[in-house]
Chain A
Amino acid sequence: MESEGHRLHPFSWLFVLLTQLRTVALPLLILVFFKRGDSWELWGAAGAAVLALHAFVYSRGFRYRLGDGELLVREGIFARTERHIPYARIQNIVQLRNPLHRLFGVTELRLESGGGAKPEAVMKVIRVADAQRLEQVLRGTPAHAATDAPAHEPRTLLSLATSDVLLLGLLNNRGAIVLGAAVGGLFQFQWWEKDQVREMFKLPGVVLHDLAAPAHLLGWMWTIALLVAGAFLMLKLFSVAVSLTTFFGFRLVRDGDRVATESGLLTRHGASARVDKLQRLTIGESLLARLAGRRWLSCDVAAAARRGDQDASEQRRLRWLVPLASAERIEAVAAELDGMPSLATLPWRALHPKAASRRFKKTFVLCTIAALAAALFFAPLPALLVWLVLVGFARLEARGWARFAAYACDDDVLAFRAGWLTRQWTIARIAKGQVLSVAASPFDRRHRMARVKLDTAGAGFNDFALDVPYLDEREAREVAARLRAAM
């Protein structure tokens, strides 16, 4: 690089060091706390000093320069790499600002292309103003030309009020994981062995013991109901807390040919991607959300997501376009994303008339096998009761699922919707399709059915991005032929 280029923020070494320390924090802590009096402390300190020196030298050596049509990055201490990243190749921009970043007025910036195992560049850390300037340059350079695009003012497509975020917390169960971890953590301490805790539980224990007599069946039921209600309350409390920390101050912004989101209470996450790089849109609603008249909208972006590498960086990518809003609002937002068609105007077609019975049969067989096993090894009567309830539920589910299920295929998009209590719509442009497949199981063939699957990038490894089951075989072929022509 002929000119010096830009450096990272002078305090970058601190953030690099903290990241490195995080990976060795546990052994270090163990050393400090359990090897007291030994020379281990000294070794630990020496290790930390080496890391700090490394972080310092690395951060000082890091340079980036906004070149003509490409970003130049130079990094490394002994083995220096100089990377030329064409602006057009940078698909995802991810920003992270935790409270420490915010204290220093800096941000961590990650630039990702569509493939490869790791981000093209990680700038840890630069000033917020510098990051903004960089993003502006990237934004102003669409795939075609830099000059003919008029400088668009960023438009806010959606911003969530705090009340919306609280409602989001009440409607979802995102707190389940945190709650589970908290309960797991509590059990680590074996609190039931502690005398004080035992004292605390003595009185309720006696009451419970009295209630346990057959005469107090009602009391038992009350107790269980209370416990369930308590657990539910805790779950919602944690969900609200999780929603607040992740989605507080959520904003969705359309800026030139990029779409960006920003949110977070303590740690602010920012992510952006080119609109034409959005792969698949998913709209969902749970039963609770439907009662509240709300839905959510998420998207996939193409990015390096290798198997077993679904780390934090994936969660940070552009995903939630609309965490919660009314159906009309979501339609309006989707329309802004390069004219995604409205769900209402798509030419929806129902699945095969036997879809409901096929779906029911599948659950029925599974339930029956499980119930038979339970009846043989445990008690026949309860097994029968549980079987009846499950089968009844499965029947309702299959009917409701099939009544709502439909697909739509025109020359531009393929869409699929399904669900009963929780409903989901998935939609993708056919041009984003990577692989097309028509598949038939033995059961499909018995009923002359088939399924059509279309895979896009960035959809995760579990299933095809769009998987339309229970289609009449000939219809499936027609759809596939149409998709093939449009791919």
Chain B
Amino acid sequence: MAMDETLPAPATTPAPVPLDAGAMAGDVFPLHPRVRSLWRWQHALIALPFSLPPTFIAIASDTWLLLPAVALGALLLVRLLDAWRERYAKSFRCVLLPDGLLVRRGVWWRSETFVPRARIQHTDVDEGPVARHFGIATLKVFTAGSRVSELEVEGLARDDAVALRDRVLGRGGKDGV
């Protein structure tokens, strides 16, 4: 599994927040190294609608000086989102445990979600056009639950997502329904 150097090693992760610290012995599926490039695209797309109206106003009112300010603002927004994503990437940890899948993430609202293997009904591996260009995929894990009938793990390498999908499924057991 390709470990991303920029991500913190498990040992240095501040207080790993597993459901059970001793049972974290599983395979870690890291984010794809180029996921930041993908996010940059997404952030640019978010910044675009915000910068369009001021741009039009600047052009319409002939205040061309506004344009650099708008560009600066958009850039700042993208940088802010990037910084937030960086913290998100630090918080992200996807571990395949012997008994299920554990995903920790969140910058301000943090959560650790655990899905037992036997509860997984089916899985999807989704790739958008841009994500496919970077070789990145999203693994969707479906359960019979009500609120979280779908757990999405975004930003995995495509091969990792497929490997995770193949390994998380299988093994019988009661589905709890």
How distant is the Cα of A302 from the Cα of B99 in the complex, in angstroms?
Answer: 23
Collect the chain B residues with CB atoms within 8 Å of residue A277's CB: 177
Is B88 among interface residues, defined by CB-CB distance under 8 A?
A: no
Is B113 among interface residues, defined by CB-CB distance under 8 A?
A: yes
Chain A: residues with Cβ within 8 Å of the partner, total of: 40
A115, B114: Cβ atoms under 8 Å? no
B109, A437: Cβ atoms under 8 Å? no
Collect the chain A residues with CB atoms within 8 Å of residue B110's CB: 439-440, 445
A435, B20: Cβ atoms under 8 Å? no
Nearest CB in chain B to that of A478: its residue: B20
With contact pairs A434-B176, A435-B119 given, residues A457 and B114 touching in the complex (Cβ less than 8 Å): no
Nearest CB in chain A to that of B15: its residue: A473
Additional 10 contacts, C-beta under 8 A, given A455-B148, A484-B20: A114-B177, A300-B146, A302-B144, A434-B143, A434-B176, A435-B143, A437-B112, A441-B109, A456-B176, A484-B114
Collect the chain A residues with CB atoms within 8 Å of residue B111's CB: 437-440
B147, A114: Cβ atoms under 8 Å? no
A434, B19: Cβ atoms under 8 Å? no
| Residue of A302, A305, A457, A463 with most chain B CB atoms under a 10 A cut-off | A457
Nearest CB in chain A to that of B21: its residue: A477
Collect the chain B residues with CB atoms within 8 Å of residue A442's CB: 108-109
Nearest-Cβ distance from residue A434 to partner chain B, whole angstroms: 3
The 10 closest A-B pairs by CB, nearest first: A434-B145, A455-B145, A459-B146, A481-B20, A439-B111, A457-B144, A302-B177, A480-B19, A434-B143, A436-B114
Which residues in chain A, 430-451, are within 8 Å of chain B measured between CB atoms?
Answer: 431-442, 445
Which residue of the partner chain, among B17, B21, B119, contacts A434 with CB atoms under 8 Å?
Answer: B119
Is B174 among interface residues, defined by CB-CB distance under 8 A?
A: yes
How distant is the Cα of A277 from the Cα of B112 in the complex, in angstroms?
Answer: 27
B113, A434: Cβ atoms under 8 Å? no
Nearest-Cβ distance from residue B119 to partner chain A, whole angstroms: 5
Is A487 among interface residues, defined by CB-CB distance under 8 A?
A: yes
Which residue of the partner chain, among B17, B99, B113, B177, contacts A435 with CB atoms under 8 Å?
Answer: B113
Nearest-Cβ distance from residue A422 to partner chain B, whole angstroms: 22
Is A462 among interface residues, defined by CB-CB distance under 8 A?
A: yes
Collect the chain A residues with CB atoms within 8 Å of residue B100's CB: 484
Which residue of the partner chain, among B19, B114, B147, contacts A464 with CB atoms under 8 Å?
Answer: B147
A461, B147: Cβ atoms under 8 Å? yes
Is B121 among interface residues, defined by CB-CB distance under 8 A?
A: yes
Nearest CB in chain B to that of A305: its residue: B146
Which residues in chain B, 101-144, are within 8 Å of chain A measured between CB atoms?
Answer: 106, 108-116, 119, 121, 143-144
Size category, B interface: 20 to 34
How distant is the Cα of A258 from the Cα of B99 in the complex, in angstroms?
Answer: 31
Nearest-Cβ distance from residue B153 to partner chain A, whole angstroms: 13
For this complex, 12 residue pairs linking A to B, each with C-beta atoms less than 8 Å apart, are A115-B177, A279-B177, A305-B146, A434-B145, A435-B114, A436-B19, A456-B146, A459-B145, A464-B146, A480-B114, A484-B99, A484-B114
Inter-chain contact total with CB atoms closer than 8 Å: 115
A435, B109: Cβ atoms under 8 Å? no
Interface string of A276-295 (1 = CB under 8 A from B): 01010000000000000000
B174, A435: Cβ atoms under 8 Å? no
Nearest CB in chain A to that of B143: its residue: A434
Interface string of A87-118 (1 = CB under 8 A from B): 00001000000000000000000000011000
Is A128 among interface residues, defined by CB-CB distance under 8 A?
A: no
Question: Contact residues of A with B, CB < 8 Å?
Answer: 91, 114-115, 277, 279, 300, 302, 305, 431-442, 445, 453, 455-465, 477, 480-481, 483-485, 487
With contact pairs A457-B177, A481-B20 given, residues A462 and B108 touching in the complex (Cβ less than 8 Å): no
How distant is the Cα of A367 from the Cα of B19 in the complex, in angstroms?
Answer: 36
How distant is the Cα of A457 from the Cα of B176 in the complex, in angstroms?
Answer: 8
How distant is the Cα of A468 from the Cα of B111 in the complex, in angstroms?
Answer: 14
| Residue of B115, B174, B177 with most chain A CB atoms under a 10 A cut-off | B177
Nearest-Cβ distance from residue A94 to partner chain B, whole angstroms: 17
Nearest CB in chain A to that of B107: its residue: A442
Collect the chain B residues with CB atoms within 8 Å of residue A464's CB: 146-148
Collect the chain A residues with CB atoms within 8 Å of residue B116's CB: 433, 436, 484, 487
How distant is the Cα of A477 from the Cα of B149 in the complex, in angstroms?
Answer: 22
| Residue of A436, A440, A477, A480 with most chain B CB atoms under a 10 A cut-off | A436
Nearest-Cβ distance from residue B60 to partner chain A, whole angstroms: 33
Is B151 among interface residues, defined by CB-CB distance under 8 A?
A: yes
Collect the chain A residues with CB atoms within 8 Å of residue B144's CB: 114-115, 302, 434, 457
| Residue of B20, B23, B106, B147 with most chain A CB atoms under a 10 A cut-off | B147
How distant is the Cα of A480 from the Cα of B19 in the complex, in angstroms?
Answer: 6
How distant is the Cα of A458 from the Cα of B149 in the complex, in angstroms?
Answer: 10
How distant is the Cα of A485 from the Cα of B100 in the complex, in angstroms?
Answer: 11
Nearest-Cβ distance from residue A36 to partner chain B, whole angstroms: 50
How distant is the Cα of A435 from the Cα of B112 in the complex, in angstroms?
Answer: 10
How distant is the Cα of A455 from the Cα of B148 in the complex, in angstroms?
Answer: 7
How distant is the Cα of A431 from the Cα of B119 in the complex, in angstroms?
Answer: 10
How distant is the Cα of A281 from the Cα of B113 in the complex, in angstroms?
Answer: 23
How distant is the Cα of A460 from the Cα of B21 in the complex, in angstroms?
Answer: 32
B112, A438: Cβ atoms under 8 Å? yes
How distant is the Cα of A45 from the Cα of B151 in the complex, in angstroms?
Answer: 51
A438, B176: Cβ atoms under 8 Å? no
Nearest CB in chain A to that of B118: its residue: A487
A456, B109: Cβ atoms under 8 Å? no
Collect the chain B residues with CB atoms within 8 Å of residue A457's CB: 144-146, 176-177
How distant is the Cα of A435 from the Cα of B175 in the complex, in angstroms?
Answer: 11
Collect the chain A residues with CB atoms within 8 Å of residue B19's CB: 436, 438, 477, 480-481, 483-484
Which residue of the partner chain, among B17, B145, B148, contacts A477 with CB atoms under 8 Å?
Answer: B17
A431, B176: Cβ atoms under 8 Å? yes
Collect the chain B residues with CB atoms within 8 Å of residue A436's CB: 19, 113-116
Nearest-Cβ distance from residue B142 to partner chain A, whole angstroms: 10
With contact pairs A481-B19, A484-B114 given, residues A435 and B148 touching in the complex (Cβ less than 8 Å): yes
Nearest-Cβ distance from residue A301 to partner chain B, whole angstroms: 9
Nearest-Cβ distance from residue B138 to partner chain A, whole angstroms: 18
Which residue of the partner chain, among B108, B147, B174, contacts A463 with CB atoms under 8 Å?
Answer: B147
